Structure 1
Amino acid sequence: MRATLEHHRPRPTATAVPLRRAVEPADTESARFRTKLRALCATRLHDTPTLTVPRRGHVYMDGGQDRHIYVIEAGQVKTLMITGSGKRCLLFISGAGDVLGELGLLGSERSDTAVALEPATLRQIPGDRFLSALAEEGLLPEYVRHLGERVIEQQKIIVDMVTLECERRLAARLLLLSQQIGKRRGRLVVIRPRITQEELAEMVGTTRSRVGLFLKHFRETGLVGMVQGSLAVDDQRLGDYIEGRLPAAAHF
């Protein structure tokens, strides 16, 4: 099935606050680290347990004192925090080669929960052994840079939550998802697996119904579309919209 995205002439806007580049550069350094890490798991760490987690199954839950590190070998996992009142905030979506559970290295209770978005296979590694293997292979500096990039990404999300109205917050998270787990197909980036409207609502701090309205508007203005049942984004135009160069026709 081919995607159909219609282009509409943008209306003038009174303000345009530059928030980010429309298209971020390819993260080749992180990609190389993930490749090396997967190779390390297949060789030096091959005797560590492998977990198979079904869709919506838990890798770990908040409140536990699990001191393991998890490396995703296949599938995708979402990390979220749940408040005392039961509200859920989706923090991150991770894919093959990504590391989960770094807070376990601190030895304190986990504050986050990891749930499989689709059937996932993960390597479960004791924290001290994980760090030793990285040190022996000379990968500790790359791991520290990888953690630093995660911090920067989280800081961008916090800035978006504070400075953007809800509709543009959703656009920003869609753009980030396209960079994290998207696959380019021509001018579009296809986001797989399927991300539900409820999960998108957890990412931007709003209701599922409002997310549905925003997505309808994005489809009408050609910012997003569908490719074989999966959400696809025009990352260039989406970036322009976030920065104010392509204003919304209406605000909800």
Structure 2
Amino acid sequence: MLRMTGIAIYRQDDRHPQAQACAACEVRSSALFGALDDAGLDRIHTHIASLTFDPDATVYDRGTAGLAVYTVRAGLVRFERTTERGDRRIVRLAGRGDLIGQEALLQRPYADEAVACTPVQLCRIPRTLIDELARGEGTLPRELMLRWQVALDAAETWVADLSTGPARRRLLRLLLRLSEHADPGGQIWMPRREEIGAMLDMTVETASRLISALRREGVLELARSRSRSARLDAAALQKALRAEDSA
């Protein structure tokens, strides 16, 4: 389910509710518009939509026209595509502070389907707004280039760490990656077995067997509820990774 509200981002005095909301935003300094100076903010004359998605809701579909980019304020988003054989693959993740949907900046369709893993909060930024701001002399063009590089690095790391090597090592590396997106209580989003298979190119049976082994070893503790969350023992995870790397 998607919920949306319009947020005007005209620069106004600090007593304005939106000015207060922007000042209190926890990802403001690391988000795309953190690169703008006051003059850049003064040139904004449009609306940004604040979006909230439930788990498994689609943020945007593969192949649809890219009209906006999105900043992830909270939660975790996965990117899916289907191979020519009809196999589903999850090709990367994005979390808090990340910019997604950059294809829109080149007026291209979205390359992957973006799906919420957890409850997700996004800011939808129209491409026309980015184009307007990028024509200025500010730091936004450089910030966009840096974020393209971050996305490229993430994709290359995903291939290097999660698409090659023994199945157990790939799963351990995935858990390490998920720990980077843990919630304030230290819990991670726990993919379904079929989602693990789609991420790591392994069968559901292999994923289930490995998860059971990690639970017995104390590396992973699944939540008792249906919240699809888990808690990791960081020391046990690192020990298991060292054992795999030295094997």
The residue that corresponds to 1:235 in the other structure is 234
Using the size of structure 2 for normalisation, the TM-score is: 0.70
The residue that corresponds to 1:92 in the other structure is 92
User: How far off its partner does 1:113 sit?
Assistant: 0.4
- Is contact 2:32-2:144 (8 Å) kept? no
Q: How many residues align?
A: 213
For residues 114 and 86 of structure 1, the distance between their equivalents in structure 2, rounded to whole angstroms, comes to 18
Indicate how the Cα distance of structure 1 residues 160 and 133 shifts in structure 2: closer, same or farther if over 3 A, else same: same
For residues 233 and 129 of structure 2, the distance between their equivalents in structure 1, rounded to whole angstroms, comes to 42
Indicate how the Cα distance of structure 1 residues 219 and 39 shifts in structure 2: closer, same or farther if over 3 A, else same: farther
For residues 35 and 64 of structure 1, the distance between their equivalents in structure 2, rounded to whole angstroms, comes to 23
Report Cα offsets for 1:88-125 as digits up to 9, x if no partner. Answer: 11123333432211122222332200112234343222
The residue that corresponds to 1:172 in the other structure is 173
Amino acid in the other structure paired with 1:138: T
For residues 36 and 192 of structure 2, the distance between their equivalents in structure 1, rounded to whole angstroms, comes to 32
The residue that corresponds to 2:209 in the other structure is 213
User: How far off its partner does 1:144 sit?
Assistant: 2.9
Indicate how the Cα distance of structure 1 residues 209 and 121 shifts in structure 2: closer, same or farther if over 3 A, else same: same
User: How far off its partner does 1:151 sit?
Assistant: 2.1
For residues 95 and 46 of structure 1, the distance between their equivalents in structure 2, rounded to whole angstroms, comes to 25
Amino acid in the other structure paired with 1:164: G
The residue that corresponds to 2:7 in the other structure is none
For residues 117 and 127 of structure 1, the distance between their equivalents in structure 2, rounded to whole angstroms, comes to 25
Percent identity, aligned pairs only, is: 23
Larger relative CO (CA 8 A, sep 6+): 1 or 2?
A: 1
For residues 92 and 184 of structure 1, the distance between their equivalents in structure 2, rounded to whole angstroms, comes to 22
The residue that corresponds to 1:141 in the other structure is 142
Query: 1:201 and 2:206 equivalent?
Result: no
The residue that corresponds to 1:64 in the other structure is 64
The residue that corresponds to 1:48 in the other structure is 48
For residues 39 and 52 of structure 1, the distance between their equivalents in structure 2, rounded to whole angstroms, comes to 25
Amino acid in the other structure paired with 1:55: P
Indicate how the Cα distance of structure 1 residues 35 and 178 shifts in structure 2: closer, same or farther if over 3 A, else same: farther
For residues 214 and 62 of structure 1, the distance between their equivalents in structure 2, rounded to whole angstroms, comes to 31
Amino acid in the other structure paired with 1:33: S
Unaligned runs of 5+ in 2: 1-26
For residues 46 and 212 of structure 2, the distance between their equivalents in structure 1, rounded to whole angstroms, comes to 46
The residue that corresponds to 1:33 in the other structure is 30
User: How far off its partner does 1:31 sit?
Assistant: 9.1
- Is contact 2:76-2:95 (8 Å) kept? yes
For residues 163 and 75 of structure 2, the distance between their equivalents in structure 1, rounded to whole angstroms, comes to 31
Match of 1:226 among 222, 228, 239: 222
User: How far off its partner does 1:136 sit?
Assistant: 6.3
Unaligned runs of 5+ in 1: 1-29
For residues 160 and 53 of structure 2, the distance between their equivalents in structure 1, rounded to whole angstroms, comes to 33
User: How far off its partner does 1:161 sit?
Assistant: 4.2
